[in-house]
Amino acid sequence: MYDQGTCWREWKELFESRCNRPWKRVVFAAAWRITMLLAAIAVMVDHRDAMRDLGIGRKVIWRRWITCSFLAERFVMRPRADLVGVG
């Protein structure tokens, strides 16, 4: 079974293997944030009737989406100690 944790680990592996230069990290982070912003807007537009019926306001949806995307970004882009020479 494919779970969300597996998905985030795959993104982390991609980030670590392909973003080995500072400029690549900046480009990846910018693309990530733009993608998450566009996805949030798409979800809010596409699911607006369901969210309204459930009594969930746009501000709540927005805050939760931003929080989840921030946590995912932090997990994916957090430097590993063995990659940055900590120790």
pLDDT tens by residue, 22-58: 888 888 888 988 998 999 899 889 999 999 999 999 8
Distance separating alpha carbons of residues 87 and 75, to the nearest angstrom? 20
| Residue 85: DSSP 8-state | T
Would residue 13 count as lying in a domain? yes
If one counts the domains in the chain, the total is 1
Would residue 87 count as lying in a domain? no
Q: Give the type of residue at 81.
A: A
Question: How confident is the model at residue 81, as a pLDDT?
Answer: 52
Domain extent at residue 24: 4-78
Question: How confident is the model at residue 54, as a pLDDT?
Answer: 93
Owner of token pair 């459930």: 54
pLDDT-based confidence at residue 86 (cuts at 50, 70, 90): very low
Question: How confident is the model at residue 3, as a pLDDT?
Answer: 72
Q: At what angle do helices 58-77 and 22-46 cross, to 10 degrees?
A: 150
Predicted structure pTM score: 0.66
